[in-house]
Amino acid sequence: MTFFGIPREEIKWYPKIDYDKCINCKTCLKFCPNGVYGEDGGRVVVVQPYNCVVGCSSCALNCPRGAIIFPSRKELNEMLRSLYKKYGYI
């Protein structure tokens, strides 16, 4: 899988869960249509991070406790700029 010609695994855009805030309501698991989340021992975990759509953070907006964390947009832009350069797009 690629994102504009860049191997998806090189783009570090995926959610992390702050378990100090997470109440295990499973809103993220129910919301995400891409199978990013799953369960391990009844606890929500990120099981397929690279299934996450680059730039999407809708699950974080739906989390009632703000327990889902993504890189900032600035970090994403810098990461993509660096990768575009690496792959000769700029």
Provide the CATH number for the domain around residue 20.
3.30.70.20
Whether 6 is in a domain gets the answer no
Intervals of the chain under pLDDT 50: none
Whether 7 is in a domain gets the answer no
pLDDT value at residue 66: 98
Whether 3 is in a domain gets the answer no
Whether 2 is in a domain gets the answer no
pLDDT value at residue 90: 78
Whether 38 is in a domain gets the answer yes
| Structural domain total, the chain | 1
Provide the domain limits for residue 26.
12-86
Q: Is the dihedral of CA 46, 52, 57, 61 positive or negative?
A: negative
